Chain A
Amino acid sequence: MNKEVQIHQHLHLVGHKCPMNFVYTKLKLEEMRDGEVLEVVVSTGEPARNVPRSVIAEGHKVLEEGTLGEHYRIRIRKVGE
Chain B
Amino acid sequence: MELSEQEVLRYARHIVLPQIGGVGQRTLKGASALVVGAGGLGSPAIYYLAAAGIGALHIVDNDVVDRTNLHRQILYRMAELGEPKAQTARRRVEAINPHVSVQATRCRVDDTNVEGLVRGCSVVLDGSDTAGTKFLLNRACVAASVPLIYAGVIRFEGQVTTIAPGVGPCLQCLFADPEAFDRDPLETCSQAGVLGAVAGQIGSLQAIEALKILLGVGDPLIGRMLVVDALDNRFRTVPFIQRPECPVCGSESGE
Residues on A close to B: CB < 8 A? 19-20, 22-24, 26-27, 30, 54, 57-58
> Cβ of A58: which chain B residues have Cβ within 8 Å of it?
18
B22 within 8 A of A: yes
Contact A19 B12 (CB under 8 A): yes
Other A-B contacts than A26-B21, A27-B15, A27-B22, 7 sampled, CB-CB below 8 A, are A19-B12, A19-B16, A20-B9, A24-B8, A27-B8, A27-B21, A57-B18
Interface majority SS on B: helix, strand, loop or mixed?
helix
B13 within 8 A of A: yes
How many Å from the CB of A17 to the closest CB on chain B?
A: 10
Interchain pairs with CB closer than 8 A, number:
25
Interface majority SS on A: helix, strand, loop or mixed?
helix
Instruction: Give the docked Cα–Cα distance between A30 and B25 (Å).
Output: 12
Contact with A along B43-81 (1 / 0, CB 8 A): 000000000000000000000000000000000000000
Contact with A along B1-44 (1 / 0, CB 8 A): 00000001100110110100111000000000000000000000
> Cβ of B15: which chain A residues have Cβ within 8 Å of it?
23, 26-27
* Chain B contact patch, size range: 10 to 19
Instruction: Give the docked Cα–Cα distance between A27 and B12 (Å).
Output: 10
> Cβ of A54: which chain B residues have Cβ within 8 Å of it?
16
Question: Which residue of chain A is the closest to B23 with respect to CB atoms?
Answer: A30
Please name 5 pairs of A and B residues whose Cβ atoms are closer than 8 Å in the assembled complex, sorted by A: A19-B13, A20-B9, A22-B16, A57-B18, A58-B18
How many Å from the CB of A54 to the closest CB on chain B?
A: 7
> Cβ of B8: which chain A residues have Cβ within 8 Å of it?
23-24, 27
How many Å from the CB of A14 to the closest CB on chain B?
A: 18
Contact B23 A23 (CB under 8 A): no
How many Å from the CB of A23 to the closest CB on chain B?
A: 5
> Cβ of B18: which chain A residues have Cβ within 8 Å of it?
57-58
Contact A26 B22 (CB under 8 A): yes
